[in-house]
């Protein structure tokens, strides 16, 4: 038993010595290697050799960060076609590493898609801007400007991703670009809806379109010469409100349309006697009352200055005159403010 024990001790002792010697040997060898060499990574991109990186982790982290966020706020996304490849190497101590250049090169190989905002009018792009806030400002302003038009443009904002882009920087110019075709379209509608018709009624659709359309109105006087016999407002007795202006002229004097429009009434109408009504754009109407006869029919398109009827004294009237009334959305107003 003792002999065996001694033998075991001897074996253990030899093993320990060999192990220590090996450890020492490796350490010395390792130190010698590290004195001469250093660990680096050679970096390749596709077929291209980009040189050596000193710090692979930092380099890779920078690249990943760039791929995720780019380097400016309006970067949508970044695409790198190939993956950089790293190969571990022990290189001579004096070998040059160029992490910065490798990073710059990888960046140059990226496709950057920028995020911009397109403002679209009826699905057609009008302009692009850099921020959502600016796109919204354009849409809000354009909507405000087109609110009185019959036909409005539908405005939308959509995100776009582009490698290269041009953006508008002027809100007013963009708004004007949106409104110009809207104006043109509405002018055409007014034209279509006021084409002469021989029918004795004006369709609700035509009237609605006309009422809602925009046109600059400049009302002119219905008579070439006249004497004003009653103004708009309370009568002297204070019990009756005069809803128009009375222009006296000889019986049969031509009465002219105050503005372009469509005739909506040419018939007897109680106290008004023979009455002509014309619907104008933007919700305005003119009444020509107490006529002796008509020169137009319901549904006729008239131009400013066209003869619509002749001076008479029909209805509640004390002498030949035309009672001119201007109404806006059905409510009478002082014609003197409009003429």
- Interaction site with Zn ion (CB under 5 A): 246, 323
**Residue number, 280 or 323, with CB nearest to Zn ion:** 323
Q: Which residues does residue 291 pair with via DSSP β-bridges, in sequence order? A: 274
323/327 with CB nearer Zn ion: 323
Helices (H), 150-243: 171-193, 204-212
Between CA 193 and CA 216 the distance in angstroms is: 17
Alpha helices in the chain (DSSP H): 2-36, 56-69, 99-108, 132-145, 171-193, 204-212
Residue closer to Zn ion (CB basis): 7 or 316: 316
* Nearest-angstrom CA–CA distance, 314 and 292: 6
Q: How far is the CB of 152 from Zn ion (least distance, A)?
A: 39
Shortest Cβ distance from residue 246 to Zn ion (Å)?
Answer: 4
Nearest CB to Zn ion, comparing residues 246 and 306: 246
CA-angle at 220, arms to 215 and 222, nearest 5°? 130
CB of 275 to Zn ion, least distance (A): 11
Closer residue to Zn ion in complex, CB, 135/289: 289
User: 216-250: buried (b, 16+ CB within 10 Å) or exposed (e) per residue?
Assistant: ebebebbbeebeeebebeeeeeeeeeebbbbbbbe
Joined tokens for residue 33 = 């290697």
Closest distance to Zn ion from the beta carbon of 264 (Å): 19
Q: Which is nearer to Zn ion, 277 or 323 (CB)?
A: 323
Residue, CB closest to Zn ion = 323
CB of 151 to Zn ion, least distance (A): 37
- Residue 230 CB, nearest distance to Zn ion (Å)? 6
CA 265, CA 201: separation in Å to the nearest integer?
Answer: 9
Left, alpha or beta for 65 (phi > 0: left; psi -120 to 50: alpha)? alpha
CA distance 219 to 201: 24
Q: Are 254 and 242 in contact (CB under 8 A)?
A: no
- Is 206 within 8 Å of 230 (Cβ atoms)? no
Smaller CB separation from Zn ion, 161 or 241:
241
Give me the least distance between CB of 242 and Zn ion, in Å please.
6
């Amino acid at each position: 038993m003792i002999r065996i024990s001694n033998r075991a001790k001897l074996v253990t002792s030899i093993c320990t010595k060999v192990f220590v010697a090996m450890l020492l040997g490796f350490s010395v060898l390792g130190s010698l290697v590290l004195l001469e060499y250093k660990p680096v990574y050679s970096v390749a991109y596709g077929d291209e050799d980009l040189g050596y990186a000193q710090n692979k982790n930092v380099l890779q982290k920078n690249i990943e960060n760039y791929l995720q966020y780019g380097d400016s706020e309006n970067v949508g996304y970044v695409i790198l076609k190939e993956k950089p490849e790293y190969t571990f190497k022990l290189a001579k101590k004096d070998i040059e590493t160029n992490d910065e250049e490798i990073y710059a090169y990888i960046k140059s190989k990226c496709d950057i898609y920028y995020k911009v905002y397109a403002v679209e009018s009826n699905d057609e792009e009008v302009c692009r801007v850099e921020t959502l806030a600016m796109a919204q400002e354009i849409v809000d302003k354009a909507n405000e400007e087109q609110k009185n038009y019959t036909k409005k443009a539908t405005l939308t904002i959509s995100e776009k991703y582009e490698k290269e882009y041009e953006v508008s920087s002027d809100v007013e110019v963009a708004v004007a670009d949106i409104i110009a075709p809207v104006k043109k379209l509405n002018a055409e509608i007014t034209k279509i809806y006021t084409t002469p018709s021989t029918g004795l009624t004006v369709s609700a659709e035509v009237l609605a379109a006309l009422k809602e359309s925009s046109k600059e109105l400049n009302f002119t006087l219905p008579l070439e010469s006249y004497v004003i016999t009653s103004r708009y407002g309370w009568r002297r007795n204070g019990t009756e409100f005069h809803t128009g202006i009375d222009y006296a002229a000889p019986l049969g004097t031509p009465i002219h349309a105050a503005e372009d429009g469509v005739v909506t009434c040419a018939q007897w109408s109680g106290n008004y006697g023979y009455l002509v009504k014309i619907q104008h754009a933007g919700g305005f109407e003119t009444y020509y009352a107490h006529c002796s006869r008509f020169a137009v029919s319901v549904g006729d398109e008239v131009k400013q200055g066209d003869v619509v009827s002749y001076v008479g004294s029909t209805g509640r009237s004390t002498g030949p005159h035309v009672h001119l009334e201007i109404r806006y959305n059905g409510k009478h107003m002082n014609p003197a403010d409009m003429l």
